[in-house]
Amino acid sequence: MSDLPGKVAATTPTQTPLLDVRDLEVRYSGVPAVKGVSFHVDRGETVGLIGPNGAGKSSTVLALAGAVRASSGSATLDGVELTGHSPEEVVRLGLSLVPEGRNMFDGLTVTENLRLGAVARRSEVPLTAAIAEVVELFPILGEFRDRPAGLLSGGQQQQLAIARTLLAAPRMLILDEPSLGLSPTAVDVVFDALGRIRDAGTSVLVVEQRAEFTIAFCDRTHVLHDGRLTLALTPGAAHDADLLTKAYFGS
């Protein structure tokens, strides 16, 4: 698993990757869901994680974010160990997760949701300027700033979920199925914004079910199958039917 194709030297000023996951294992009441996963994300890199339902994708990223305990293995962000920390500490270390399902605080307004995202803000940039920045990225949020989040459409909620997470100023942004349940137009809006977030220098890890799409979007895409990484694909593989089949049904 260590000789994954990547472009380590090309994009990093130092030799250590930003996010380095080694032999990560997650068990739920003893039952393994993630069985020793290793991968890395370099600075400025966008990495995908695909695989069928129940492959362990969400468990992997929840463990990185501190929301579930890793039973063994390690994950470091710029050399700092993440496992064993609570979610609120992990955010302060610079890794933020937009969990699956948007998770809106329905009764809170768009602005209040954004203010919450800044609770663990790691940047010196004033909050008002930062909010203006995310509103530029997602204009709809400026328009609906006083609307309760529960009244937004699914696509708008996903934009809000990403926007409020950005206000923590993460170095490593992880998104769990950002396209889930969204209309094609909404998916375009979300991934267009992700493209710009990536271009601004944030490292991104995207968990998705939509294989072709993700492989084309990311610098590198790992395939997770039954709790293990099986393949690493580059954008060229997006239209390689054989590879995709292998990715999903095992080699």
Partner 1 sequence: MHFGQSLIDALSLGALYALVALGIGLVFGVMRLANFAHGEIITGAAYALIFTWHLGPVVSVFVSLLVGVVLAILMELLVFRRLRTTTPATLLIASFGLSFLLQRVYEALFGTNVRTAPVASGLAGTVTVLGLRLQILSLVTIALTAVLLLAVHYFLTRTNLGLQVRAASTDFRTARLLGVRADRVIMLTFGISGGLAAVVAFVMTVQTGAVGPTFGVPLTVLALVGAVIGGIDRVIGSLVGGFLMGFASSFFSSWLPEGIVRFRDAFVFLLVILVLLVKPAGLLAGSGTVERT
Residues that bind partner 1 (CB under 8 A): 65, 67, 86-88, 91-92, 96-97, 99, 103, 105-108, 112, 115-117, 119-120, 150, 153-154, 157, 164-165, 168, 183
CA distance 20 to 41: 7
Say how far apart CA 227 and CA 244 lie, in whole Å: 18
Nearer to partner 1, 14 or 86 (CB): 86
CB of 3 to partner 1, least distance (A): 33
Q: Which helix (H) or strand (E) holds 212?
A: helix 211-217
Q: Report the nearest approach of partner 1 to the CB of residue 34 (Å).
A: 18
Cβ proximity to partner 1: between 55 and 97 the closer is 97
CB-wise, 59 or 157, nearer to partner 1?
157
How far apart are CB 15 and partner 1 at their closest, in Å?
Answer: 30
How many alpha carbons lie under 13 Å from residue 107 in its C-beta half-sphere?
Answer: 0
Kindly state the smallest distance separating residue 32's Cβ from partner 1, in Å: 21
Instruction: Decide whether 1 or 108 has the Cβ nearer to partner 1.
Output: 108
User: Could you give the C-alpha distances from 170 to 22, 73, 92, 96, in angstroms and in order?
Assistant: 21, 23, 8, 6
Distance CA 161, CA 155 (A): 10
